Amino acid sequence: MPLKLSFSRGNACHALKPRRAEYVKTSLTARGHTLRMPQTDSRAVLAKVHAPRYLAFLEHAWRDWLALEAGNEQRQPFPSIWPVRTLRSDIEPVNFIARLGLYSMDNGSPLAAGTWTAAKAGADAAASAAALLAAGNSSERAAFCCSRPPGHHAGPDFMGGYSFLNNAAVAAQTLRDGGAARVAVLDVDYHHGNGTQSIFYERADVLFVSLHGDPLTEYPFYLGHADETGAGEGAGFNLNLPLPAGCTTARWFEALELACTRIAAYRSDALVVSLGLDTFAEDPISKFALQTSDFSRLGERLGALGLPTVFVLEGGYAAAALGTNAVNVIEGFEGI
């Protein structure tokens, strides 16, 4: 049965060109999958995975930027200072650029007029996809959230890596709120989902597992190491499987098997997949070697877990191949 899909479009940002989502939409439609627009307002769930003051800043950031100086609508604001070690982050400055630095992990996620609208639409799409699968609500086995910008680098109170709101975390929390006692999040993006890890690091009800480029050499650099296993109640519920740049496809699938074994042992009620497709060999900013056919194999292995699954689109910058690779995962999952 074709998957029910949540679809939203966002503003362009660096490598996140509008055609990324369009290529995926075209491929999904051409191969008979049903598209739906988001039906769920994610605001209540967002408040459970992001800090209220961060959400308030992000929602009103563009308005506040325009109010500072005439002509700012033609300029993009960028942070120029960050609260690094020994500097306080508990007090929110009045100065706009200082607040932007407070809530940014890098300067690679520029704000624009439509940033909040796009990010919120993506979160609504993730919540809608998860709501379709929530306990007792649907007979559907899986849903795919096709939205942009991505979200897995957005933490509880910061943006970064093109990410503003964490769509995978929204999906996981929606599943929890819908009756799932335990949810696993599997991140297969080339880059570690530092934001998702940060949100759930001290929780035992959400297992986070990631296979990604080694942060010694790959973004986001400061998180994603194998010794990060959770803290407090979440101790033992975080698994990172960093891989060297240029690793073989065979080694990547060995790591995937370790990830799936851990998810099965967790006995989760549902699965969220941060579906980064920048592991593709032709991706311009990543260094793994998966071919288009390998994404079918990925889908097959995830389908074998037998879990209600929400796929959330993350990275993937070989735009022309993105749609085919995404649909191969979906149809591999379905056994088509």
Residues that are catalytic: 153
Question: How many other CB atoms are there within 10 angstroms of residue 5's CB atom?
Answer: 25
The two structure tokens encoding residue 172: 């996981």
Q: Do 290 and 279 form a contact (C-beta atoms < 8 A)?
A: yes
- CA 235, 305, 266: angle at the middle one, nearest 5? 20
Q: In 3-state terms, what secondary structure has residue 207?
A: strand
Q: Do 109 and 160 form a contact (C-beta atoms < 8 A)?
A: yes
Side by side, the strands of the sheet bearing 206-213 are 34-36, 4-7, 142-146, 309-313, 270-275, 183-187, 206-213, 238-243
The two structure tokens encoding residue 121: 């639409």
Question: Whole-angstrom Cα distance, residue 160 to residue 286?
Answer: 17
Paired strand residues for 273: 186, 311
Q: In 3-state terms, what secondary structure has residue 240?
A: strand
What is the full DSSP assignment across 19-50? HHHHHHHHHHHHTTPEEE------HHHHHHHS
Question: Whole-angstrom Cα distance, residue 234 to residue 88?
Answer: 26
Question: How many other CB atoms are there within 10 angstroms of residue 1's CB atom?
Answer: 10
